[in-house]
Amino acid sequence: MIPRVSIQIVTFNSQRFIKSCLDSVFLQTFQDFSVLVIDNASRDDTVSFVKERYTKQFIGEKFNSSVPLFVVHNPRNTGFSYAHNQGIVMSKSEFILVMNPDMILAPDFLQVLVQSIEKDKNIASVGGKLLRLKLGDPELDEKIKTTIIDTTGIHVVRSRHVINRGEGDGDKSQYDKKVDVFGISGACALYRRSALEDIKIPDQKRGEYFDEDFFAYKEDVDLSWRLQLRGWKARYVPQAVAYHFRAGAPLKKRFSQSKLVNYLSYRNHLWTLLKNIYWSNFFHHFIYIFFYQLVKELYLFFTQPFVLLKASFSFWMGLKKMLRKRKYIMQHAKVSPKQMKKWFQ
């Protein structure tokens, strides 16, 4: 029998997080799921640790031994998008929980999300209230759960700057209302398979759900945008709580990000706009978009000029392919520019 949910976790040198993550997964009150760990050529002992600790014999001692766990070991780092696409194709479940290895789920997290997505067949994705996780004593493998909000969904402003709702705020029940949002963070999102099949782009042999040219970063925004264009809903469910480790405070994040992260984030943001934005909405909000991009480019020019040059070159090199994807997306869009404009506040 095919499990209703496939939980898939992409790892890369994730040994310090994977135990807490998988322990919280196997202790879920909802048990109709399988687990797929897709490792992107980790250089630490992530794969061997998972195989040794989460065999059926060990799971039987502490967890539900009927939950199957599979491990795929890629010979190279294929990136977040490619690896999760692997998992989506390999699994046959009705729903897919995409999650990072640095997550810890509350015991009823999956049950709450499944119940929520079942209530409306037009919901493509659901996500819970993600709170910050801090690292404590490394010798004790200590993970400290905080009341600082990591994300309550993806929000896009008029400049098309993408933010996590509530990021960095203290949780004072101000985000305790169930609402539809632009999208769900790829750190932990439950997707409906039929929605993913509906928006996949037939560029690759198997079809492309997350954009594999992105490699990593902003692929969840791009996917959320394509789902919105097809008329699918994304719902934030605050009763589902989980904890996510994220290095750096929100205000310092940009200044502490590596050159690789800044390169991928900048290029992928431009590709996301090129693929998904209606030109009428682009010109309507042109002044906001222009000044946001100007500030972003000036920041990179004075701090990491090589990153700006490399990202710009990569953007133009991929232009033809992205325009081809845009053509497909726009030909299949169901939602009007006016309807999409409501999300950009």
Q: What is the pLDDT of residue 144?
A: 93
Contacts of 30 (CB under 8 A, 6+ apart): 5, 108, 110, 111, 114
**207-227 pLDDT per residue, tens:** 899 999 999 999 999 999 999
Q: Which two tokens stand for residue 150?
A: 């990591």
| pLDDT for res 139 | 76
Interior/surface letters 219-255, b for 16+ CB within 10 angstroms, e for the rest? bbbbbbbbbbbbebbbbbbbbbbbbbbbeeeeeeeee
Asked if residue 291 has pLDDT above 90, the reply is yes
Q: Among residues 204, 224, 248, which one ends one of the domains?
A: 248
Question: Contact, 124 vs 195, CB < 8 A?
Answer: yes
24-46, pLDDT tens digit by residue?
Answer: 999 999 999 999 999 999 999 99
Mean pLDDT of the chain: 93
What band does 21 get if pLDDT is binned at 50, 70 and 90?
very high
Rounded to an integer, what distance in angstroms lies between the CA atom of residue 105 and that of residue 74? 26
Q: How confident is the model at residue 249 (pLDDT cuts 50, 70, 90)?
A: very low
* Residue 288 clears pLDDT 60, i.e. is over it: yes
Among 91-100, 238-247, 316-325, which stretch is predicted with the lowest mean pLDDT? 238-247
Please check whether residues 56 and 203 belong to one and the same domain. Answer: yes
Same domain, 229 and 293: no
First to last CA, the chain: 45
- What is the count of structural domains for the chain? 2
Pull the structure tokens for residue 113: 């999300």
How sure is the predictor about 251, in pLDDT bands with cuts at 50, 70 and 90?
A: very low
| Statement: residue 331 has pLDDT above 60 | yes
Average the pLDDT over 63-80 and give the result: 87
- The Cα-based distances of 107 to 46, 116, 150, 240, 246 in angstroms read 23, 16, 19, 9, 21
127-186 pLDDT, tens digit each: 999 999 998 887 777 899 999 999 999 999 999 999 999 999 999 999 999 999 999 999
Q: Residue 204: count other Cβ atoms within 10 Å of its Cβ.
A: 14
- Same domain? For 189 and 222 the reply is yes
pLDDT exceeds cutoff 90 at 248: no
Q: What is the pLDDT of residues 4-19, one digit of tens each?
A: 999 999 999 999 999 9
Please indicate, yes or no, whether residues 117 and 141 belong to a single structural domain of this protein. Answer: yes
Q: For residue 58, what pLDDT band results from cuts at 50, 70 and 90?
A: low
Domain termination site, one of 225, 248, 271: 248
Indicate whether 281 and 189 sit together in one domain: no
Same structural domain for residues 173 and 64? Answer: yes
Q: How far apart are CA 12 and CA 10, in angstroms?
A: 7
Helix (H) or strand (E) holding 192: strand 188-192
- CA geometry: angle 51, 77, 88, nearest 5 deg: 70
Whether residue 119 is predicted with pLDDT greater than 70 in this model: the reply is yes
Do both 289 and 237 map to the same domain?
no
Residues 54 and 104 in one domain: yes
| Same-domain pairing of 225 and 306 | no
Q: Using DSSP, state whether 169 is helix, strand or coil.
A: coil
Are 243 and 150 found together in one domain? yes
Both 271 and 199 in a single domain? no
Residue 43 DSSP SS3: coil
Determine the length of the chain: 345
| Alpha helix ranges (H) inside the chain | 15-26, 46-53, 56-62, 80-90, 109-118, 193-199, 219-229, 250-256, 259-276, 279-284, 286-303, 305-317, 319-331, 337-341
Domain that holds residue 331: 252-341
Q: Looking at residue 204, what is its pLDDT?
A: 63
Question: Which of 216, 248, 280 corresponds to the end of one domain?
Answer: 248
What's the pLDDT score for residue 255? 47
Same domain, 212 and 273: no
CATH number of residue 43's parent domain: 3.90.550.10
Whole-model pTM: value is 0.94
